[in-house]
């Protein structure tokens, strides 16, 4: 059964990846906006922002930009899933002797690959803009692990949106709050600089802040505090809840 699922998932993933290679504009579009944000904040607004941290502003804000990159990328997963559902592709696949969940896993793995490529592009541009890191191989692996978990967690959220949407717009609009979430965190300014109140409390306790802080410390080669465990707990928790919910929605959809 497991081997059957893996084989079917691999076949359907190749199909999805082929569509992306034939239309690379999705990856380009996903990377363009975060790069534009970096240019705006570093060369226009960066000089007016006091992060109270050593190093250039690009070093401070890159982790937040990577989260924005992922949040933008998963909207295409929801879009592709909804398009397949509306186009009758799911019905065709279900009439074949293939594992039903392989269809979802193919979209999830395609999202993972596409987002990794987009993140790499953004990091390369950041290096050209002056980003420097003291992270060693283990630090880079830790950053890759956190971002991979983050991509998987948000992708399963995108799966729920794609399965539940009644229109193409509805399938993608869910990502807007996720895109703006890093802006209400420590991604671009320290939370301590925010006025005491609900906004500051939210910024200090929402998942983007702990993820950004953990990635920032890893890039800087500093010892990580509790942020990395909080970040992992957020990612794993969102992933577990989103996966379970997606499976319930999927079974009801194809029943």
Domain boundaries, the chain: 2-254
Predicted confidence at residue 111, as pLDDT, reads 87
Predicted confidence at residue 63, as pLDDT, reads 94
Predicted confidence at residue 25, as pLDDT, reads 66
pTM summary value: 0.88
pLDDT along the chain (255 residues), means of 10: 66 74 69 86 71 74 93 86 74 65 83 90 92 90 95 93 81 84 89 85 93 93 87 95 93 73
Predicted confidence at residue 3, as pLDDT, reads 62
- Secondary structure of the chain in HEC code, one letter for each residue: CHHHHHHHHHHHHHHHHHHHHHCCHHHHHHHHHHHHHHHHHHHHHHHHCCCCCCCCHHHHHHHHHHHHHHHHHHHHHHHHHHHHHHCCHHHHHHCCCCCCCHHHHHHHHHHHHHHHHHHHHHHHHHHHCCCCCCCCHHHHHHHHHHHHHHHHHHHHHHHHHHHHCCCHHHHHHCHHHHHHHHHHCCCCCCHHHCCCCHHHHHHHHCHHHHHHHHHHHHHHCCCCCCHHHHHHHHHHHHHHHHHHHHHHHHHHHHC
Predicted confidence at residue 168, as pLDDT, reads 76
């Amino acid at each position: 059964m497991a081997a059957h699922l893996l084989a079917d998932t691999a076949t359907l993933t190749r199909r999805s990846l082929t569509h992306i290679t034939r239309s690379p504009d999705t990856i380009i579009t996903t990377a363009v906006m975060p790069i534009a944000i970096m240019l705006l904040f570093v060369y226009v607004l960066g000089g007016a922002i006091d992060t109270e941290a050593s190093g250039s502003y690009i070093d401070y804000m890159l982790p937040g930009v990577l989260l924005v990159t992922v949040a933008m990328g998963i909207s295409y997963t929801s879009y592709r899933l909804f398009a397949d559902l509306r186009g009758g592709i799911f019905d065709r696949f279900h009439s074949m002797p293939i594992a039903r969940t392989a269809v979802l896993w193919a979209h999830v793995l395609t999202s993972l690959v596409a987002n990794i490529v987009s993140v790499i592009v953004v990091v390369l541009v950041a290096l050209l803009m002056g980003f420097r890191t003291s992270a060693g191989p283990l630090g880079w692996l830790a950053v890759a692990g956190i971002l991979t978990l983050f991509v998987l967690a948000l992708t399963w959220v995108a799966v729920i949106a794609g399965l539940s949407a009644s229109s193409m717009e509805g399938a993608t609009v869910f990502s807007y709050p996720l895109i703006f979430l890093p802006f209400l965190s420590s991604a671009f300014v320290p939370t301590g600089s925010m006025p005491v109140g609900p906004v500051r409390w939210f910024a200090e306790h929402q998942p983007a802040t702990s993820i950004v802080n953990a990635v920032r410390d890893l890039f800087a080669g500093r010892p990580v505090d509790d942020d990395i465990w909080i970040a992992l707990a957020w990612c794993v928790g969102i992933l577990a809840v989103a996966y379970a919910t997606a499976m319930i929605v999927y079974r009801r959809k194809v029943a």
